[in-house]
Amino acid sequence: MLEIDGSAGGGQLLRSSLALSTLTDTPVRVVDVRGDRSNPGLKAQHVAAARAIARIAGAETDGVELGSDAVEFDPGDVSGGDYEVSIETAGSLTLVFEAVLPLALVTDEPIRLHATGGTDVAWSPPLEYLRRVKLPFLRRHGVVAAITSERRGFYPVGGGAATLTLGPSAPERIEATEPPTVAGARAYAVASDDLADADIAERLARTVTEMVEALDHEVELSERVVEYADADCTGAGIVLRADAEAGRESPAGHAPIAGFSALGGPDRSAEAVAGDAVDDFADWMGTGAVVDRHLADQLVVPLAVLGGRVAIPEVTAHVASSLDLVAEFGLPVDCEQADGRAILHAAGTDWAAQK
């Protein structure tokens, strides 16, 4: 049983450890889970993620309960079918989906996971980021995955619902190093119904449009989606997506390559929230990287399995801990600095190449 020090990587290290355990058929024990946090141990969303993977992978587990600081996980065989998991708080259901998503690389049958909890909450990717940025990026590399949104859940109540569907995939190496020419951008604004009279979603989308088109990069928004949602509590957010022009590495037309998000709060105007997303977009445009800093660390596990090369803006703490983790499973991903950006590259696995 491989033992992983879970003290420095937060919940992501636990989720990735269980996914890698399943992909490589390696029993694992994660100790001192979230040990460097002020509230260490498993929270509701970590329990939900571990239970979801365990059910799908037919794993034997120990320590999967609230407050636990150690988890043992011995995977079995991945089985398709319908699964459900409830976080019962505003904990992020998108992070539960993040944990299960790598199983698309090995499943022989469709997997459908219905989850309830928070869809748009702090310290996690909002639902539209997964739907509009990450999953389209992975689908261009042969990964079969989609999300349907059923109900929004904002902090602090939650109550959101969504379903992740994974299919048998024929994944390809991830090749994304060619400096992108950004062909356009898209804005996805969402707000709870009680904010409709204040036009919060429209103001989010309109401000993003005006700010993007005022930048020196000559990028125009090609799509604006405004949504008001029935929800158990007030909330709002924006996702700004950058699309690359067709080129050698994206021959099938415009490709979503990066996303930038911001969430509303009781003391922040819609214009300030939109400005946060555009500021992150403008910073990324100057890096020459293909993907954004959040997608960078989320791609380490699939890159380790599939192989390839990806240009990222920087090696963040999340990227560094993910690189250390995949190496412990015998799936090294190397990193080199070039032209002010970082290039992650990996050989990938033999069994992935044979799929």
The class of domain 182-285 in CATH terms is alpha beta
Binned average pLDDT, 10 residues per bin, the chain of 355 residues: 91 96 97 90 96 98 97 97 95 96 96 98 95 94 96 95 96 89 92 97 96 86 93 97 68 70 94 97 91 95 96 94 96 89 92 67
CATH classification for the domain delimited by 2-171, as one of 3.40.50.300, 3.65.10.20, 3.40.1640.10, 3.40.630.30: 3.65.10.20
> Can you give the pLDDT at residue 233?
96
> Can you give the pLDDT at residue 276?
97
- Please state whether beta strands 111-117 and 81-86 pair in parallel, antiparallel, or not at all (unpaired): parallel
Distance (Å, rounded) from C-alpha 255 to C-alpha 130?
15
Backbone angles phi, psi at 244, to 5 degrees: -95, 150
Q: Is 212 helix (H, G, I), strand (E, B) or coil?
A: helix
> Can you give the pLDDT at residue 242?
93
> Can you give the pLDDT at residue 248?
45
Give residue limits of the domains in the chain. 2-171, 182-285, 288-355
> Can you give the pLDDT at residue 244?
85
> Can you give the pLDDT at residue 250?
45
Distance (Å, rounded) from C-alpha 29 to C-alpha 7?
13
Q: How many CB atoms lie within 10 A of CB 255?
A: 21
CB burial readout 89-114, b (16+ within 10 A) else e: bbbbbbbbbbbbbbbbbbbeeebebb
Backbone angles phi, psi at 192, to 5 degrees: -70, 155
Contact 172, 352 (CB under 8 A): no
> Can you give the pLDDT at residue 338?
77
Cis peptide leading into 156, omega within 30 of 0? yes
Instruction: Provide the annotated active-site residues.
Output: 318
> Can you give the pLDDT at residue 98?
96
Contact 288, 179 (CB under 8 A): yes
Task: Read off the amino acid at residue 284.
Answer: W
> Can you give the pLDDT at residue 252?
43
State the DSSP string of 274-334. HHHHHHHHHHHHTT--SS-HHHHHHTHHHHHHH-EEEEES---HHHHHHHHHHHHTT---E
> Can you give the pLDDT at residue 205?
97
